[in-house]
Amino acid sequence: MAYGNISRECNCTAPEEDIARLTDALTGFLDRIFFDLRNFGTSSADRALNYAATNAFQTASVLRQATGQGMQLDTIDVDRSPFCRMDSDCWDVRITFFDPENNRRARRVYRFTIDVSDAIACNVGDWRVTFGRFPNRSFRIGD
């Protein structure tokens, strides 16, 4: 395979069903952003969402953890972040998962803080996980 080509082949020791589950979850996440949350990246919140979609390594680790516990993608929200350095434009992208077999189980919310003040967006710290549903402070993207 030439450098730069993308393939669904995996040279790893994970069980085939885990690879298939992760592939389905990542495809569903990207389809959700591409078809349901399409934007031109003109606002800061749109740029943060687009960065989260293109940062496949971080997103794949979140999807692997959530789907490994039997959870499914619920919502994707973008809110202004309370954590930001001076003269920056930081946004939290929240990816919420639910348990389709147990509606009493708390939702799992993964939060990424993304700084979009420069020409190239970047992460601010690692992703954080919390449980439950949180009130919306700014606006909601998708349901």
Label residue 5 by pLDDT band (50, 70, 90): very low
Task: Tell me which residue has tokens 């434009």.
Answer: 89
Instruction: Please provide the average confidence, as pLDDT, over all residues in the chain.
Output: 78
Q: Kindly report the backbone phi and psi dihedral angles of residue 66, in degrees, each rounded to the nearest multiple of 5, phi listed first.
A: -70, -45
- Which pLDDT value is given to residue 116? 94
pLDDT digits (tens, 9 = 90+) for 87-100: 899 999 998 999 99
Tell whether the model's pLDDT for residue 25 goes beyond 60: yes
pLDDT recorded at residue 60: 79
CB 124 within 8 A of CB 83: yes
Is pLDDT of 8 > 50? no
Q: What are phi and psi of 132, to 5 degrees?
A: 105, -175
pTM tops 0.95, yes or no: no
What confidence tens digit (pLDDT) does each residue in 98-138 have? 999 988 888 999 998 999 998 888 888 888 888 876 544 44
Q: What is the predicted pLDDT for the residue at 143?
A: 42
Q: How far apart are CA 96 and CA 10, in angstroms?
A: 27
